Amino acid sequence: MPADDFVVTPWNVEGDIDYDKLIKRFGTQKITPELLSKIEKFTNESHFMLRRGIFFSHRDLNRLLDDYEKGKKFFLYTGRGPSGHTHIGHLVPWVFAKWLQDKFGAKMYFQLTDDEKFWSKKDMTLEKTSQFALENALDFIALGFKPENTKIIIDTKNIKTLYPIAAEVAKRINFSNTKAVFGFENETNVGMIFYTSLQSAPCFIEDMPVLIPFGVDQDPHFRITRDVAPKINKPKPALIHNIMIPPLGGTKGKMSGSNENETIYTTDSPETVKKKINKYAFSGGQPDIEEHRKKGGNPDIDVSYQYLRIFFEPDDKKLKQIHDDYKSGKMLTGELKEILIQKINKFLESHQQKREMARDQLDKFLLKD
Amino acid sequence: MPADDFVVTPWNVEGDIDYDKLIKRFGTQKITPELLSKIEKFTNESHFMLRRGIFFSHRDLNRLLDDYEKGKKFFLYTGRGPSGHTHIGHLVPWVFAKWLQDKFGAKMYFQLTDDEKFWSKKDMTLEKTSQFALENALDFIALGFKPENTKIIIDTKNIKTLYPIAAEVAKRINFSNTKAVFGFENETNVGMIFYTSLQSAPCFIEDMPVLIPFGVDQDPHFRITRDVAPKINKPKPALIHNIMIPPLGGTKGKMSGSNENETIYTTDSPETVKKKINKYAFSGGQPDIEEHRKKGGNPDIDVSYQYLRIFFEPDDKKLKQIHDDYKSGKMLTGELKEILIQKINKFLESHQQKREMARDQLDKFLLKD
């Protein structure tokens, strides 16, 4: 990787991502002001993640909305690779998906890919990924989904439903395709090589088009799905991509469970959150207070500010105030961190309660084959 | 393929197979007179398919029998790729497996790989292979298996049981392995690349060693299984291989559903059998009766004689008489063919009755996940 470059694949995100460049590299469409207005026609309100470009790119969203206007319903699908506890980065597409579900009255499928995480991580067992799948499902349910219109798929548990669809997809993908799209090598295990057909399967589970909100690093999977769709007489999935949530240590790469100190889990205690933010959150501030008051901070590279922008401060006015105060030097890094700590801990207090309540509801959400 | 050479892979059998060469090429063990005696110690009788070298090769059968003697039970597993109706070639390992089951009191699993045949044949649909799976199951049941100790696995129906086992196997196989063993290419679809893990899965379905009687062309799959077994703390499957059943047109290659005229199906009518044998069965006889009486026929290349030897004349004395009479010229090709037609039609009359009766029993045999 050249110093000024970045990598975005389903299994590796590195560097300082230039999202305009990524749109070109992946061949997706930028979400334009026109498209935002079009969405608002149906939703009657804008979502801060759309306004702020947290969801920044799409494929075929125009087509999907045009069809919707003509009365053609769609369903929603997103997912998670259960290799550990849920962190706040995972919640971004899920919260947005909930909003879409409410606004469009869409059925939702949530896929937990316990097989994929077992295959992609050397020391991971299938028992562990299956356990984490159930834990992650609690976080998803805690966001307010209802079992009437939301089904949770766990790959190894629901393989009976997924496999015949995945088989149709798998017949239309060859090793060259997976080499080109994922960079697979001769040493890649055959589970990984096959797996993308399983991630495609939920796209075709209902007899209507699908819209998938998800982190842009997963786009390669759905590029394959979209190539295969017409070959099995199905509509191409429409996609809407969110940016990567940066790790605490800086705005490069993405938050990832593989570095616990740079990750806020939904199961973290208030003390842990406080400690992690204070100790590890990369600051855009100046080395000392005097200089900070004079020169001001840089919110663009300040991770605490970015977390507020991406997730924890939906109010544009309040966010702008923080932005301006931090930039002018009026707000110190410690004060900014304190705002974020309060926000996260308030969110997590409520979330963790709902998460425990979700245990009793879990079975109602799990797809019955 | 050089003119004097032959090809044996799970998807292609061509040429005049030299089984001694094949043993060297595959690295299997020849079934020796010592091993035959050892088997007879447990079975108290020999089986004509063993005596005649129809089962000619093995892997680890000595180890399995030594363990059995010490009280370690094993189970049996074989299968079929359901791309069409069952033909008489398929019955060879199944009939032998039934004998093994009776003699060793072993539980039996029979796998129908509807996914694999869908992936390996361009124009095949999953609906068709799943239908053929049920049809093929009837032939298997008709051979006298009992639901108490015999379970039929259909890949797409029993994927819930198979998939977690296949996932463990798949993690330990990479694309290079499948290239080396199956000759896969970059253009091979990802279903085929993954599939061998599914064919491995039944080997590990019970917590005891397995013995697999099957056509030697499938050996590459189990070579992979045997490499993976110790990595997942399981015993290596023991294998016993039968020769390929030649097509009607000659002793090269194997009987295959892809050429209907050279194949006797278990669903063929007596008239069809008569017509196919008379018209297509390759003869080892001389061009005219006079020459035949003088020079005699060649039973080694005569397909009718080979079918009697492989399946339809278990009585060694009767077979020897036919052999000698044909070789001396006393028996004409037409007479030899007539013997085989009678034998096949007698077998099929009874088989087809049992096959129809099996429809009501089928559900009892199907593995419940």
**pLDDT for the residue A11:** 86
Search chain B and give the residue with CA nearest A121.
B171
* A173–B contact, CB cutoff 8 A: yes
pLDDT of residue A4: 58
pLDDT at B258: 74
Average pLDDT over residues B121-149: 97
Q: How far A127 CA lies from chain B's nearest CA (Å)?
A: 10
Q: Give which of A175, A177, A182 to mutate to test B binding, by max B Cβ within 10 Å.
A: A175
Tell me how close the Cα of A185 comes to any Cα of chain B, in angstroms. Answer: 8
Contacts of A337 (CB under 8 A, 6+ apart): A277, A278, A281, A283, A304
Distance from CA of A169 to the nearest CA of B (A): 9
Q: What is the predicted pLDDT for the residue at A195?
A: 98
Which residues from chain A sit within 8 angstroms of residue B171, using beta carbons? 118-119, 189, 191
Q: Tell me which chain B residues have a C-beta less than 8 angstroms from the C-beta of A191.
A: 167, 170-171, 194, 197
Query: Percentages helix, strand, coil for chain B, rounded to the nearest 5?
Result: 55, 15, 30
pLDDT at position B240 is 98
Reported as a pLDDT band with limits 50, 70 and 90, residue B255 is confident
Amino acid A253: pLDDT: 81
Q: Which residues contact residue A57 at a Cβ distance below 8 angstroms, ignoring those fewer than 6 apart?
A: A19, A22, A23, A26, A28, A29, A30, A31, A216, A240, A241
Residues of chain A with CATH 3.40.50.620: 6-248
Q: What is the dihedral of CA A110, A115, A119, A125, to 10 degrees?
A: 120
Structure confidence by residue, pLDDT tens digits, B91-115: 999 999 999 999 999 999 999 999 9
Could you say which of 3.40.50.1400, 3.40.190.10, 2.60.210.10, 3.40.50.620 is the CATH number of the domain covering A6-248?
A: 3.40.50.620
Q: A197 CB near a chain B CB, below 8 Å?
A: yes
Which residue intervals of chain B are DSSP H helices? 19-26, 33-43, 48-51, 61-69, 88-104, 114-120, 126-142, 159-171, 175-182, 190-200, 219-228, 270-280, 289-295, 303-307, 316-328, 333-365
Q: What CA–CA distance (Å, rounded) separates A217 from A80? A: 12
Class of domain B260-356 as given by CATH: mainly alpha
Distance CA A313, CA A340 (A): 9
Please name the residue of chain A whose CA is at the shortest distance from the CA of residue B187: A174
Alpha carbon B166 to chain centroid, angstroms: 23
**So what's the pLDDT on residue B259?**
82
Other beta carbons within 10 angstroms of residue B28's beta carbon come to: 21
Within 10 angstroms of residue A20's Cβ, the number of other Cβ atoms is 11
CATH 1.10.240.10 domain range(s) in chain B: 260-356
CA distance B178 to chain A (A): 9
> Which of B179, B185, B190 comes nearest A170 by C-beta?
B190
Please state, for a pLDDT cut of 70, what percent of chain B lies above it: 99
Minimal-distance CA residue of chain B relative to A173: B189
Quick: pLDDT tens for B43-57: 999 999 999 999 999
From first CA to last CA, the distance across chain A in angstroms is 44
Q: How far is A186 from chain B (nearest CA, A)?
A: 5
CA closest to A172 among chain B residues: B189
Q: Does B179 touch chain A (CB under 8 A)?
A: yes
Output the pLDDT for position B318: 98
In B89-148, the residues whose Cβ lies within 8 Å of chain A are 115, 118-119, 126
Closest partner residue to B190 (CB to CB) among A126, A173, A369 is A173
pLDDT beneath 70, residues of chain A: 1-4
pLDDT in tens, B203-218: 999 999 999 999 999 9
Q: How confident is the model at residue B2 (pLDDT cuts 50, 70, 90)?
A: low
The mean pLDDT value for B245-264 works out to 85
8 Å CB contact of A160 and B164: no
What architecture is the A260-357 domain classified under in CATH?
A: Orthogonal Bundle (1.10)
**Which pLDDT score, from 0 to 100, does residue B88 have?**
95
Look at residue A255 in the predicted model and tell me its pLDDT.
81
For B185-205, what is the mean pLDDT? 98
Buried b / exposed e over A284-308, threshold 16 CB at 10 Å, is bbbeeeeebeeebbebebbbbbbbb
**Does the beta-carbon distance from B189 to A174 stay under 8 Å?**
yes
Q: Which of B67, B37, B139 is nearest to B98 (CA)?
A: B139
Written as one letter, the residue type at A41 is K
What ipTM goes with this model?
Answer: 0.93
Question: Could you tell me which of B44, B47, B17, B45 has the C-alpha nearest to residue B31?
Answer: B47
pLDDT at A231: 97
Q: Do B119 and A190 touch (CB under 8 A)?
A: no
Integer CA distances (angstroms), B348 to A251, B142, B355, in order: 74, 11, 10
Please check whether residue B231 touches A, CB under 8 A. Answer: no
**pLDDT of res. B286:** 96
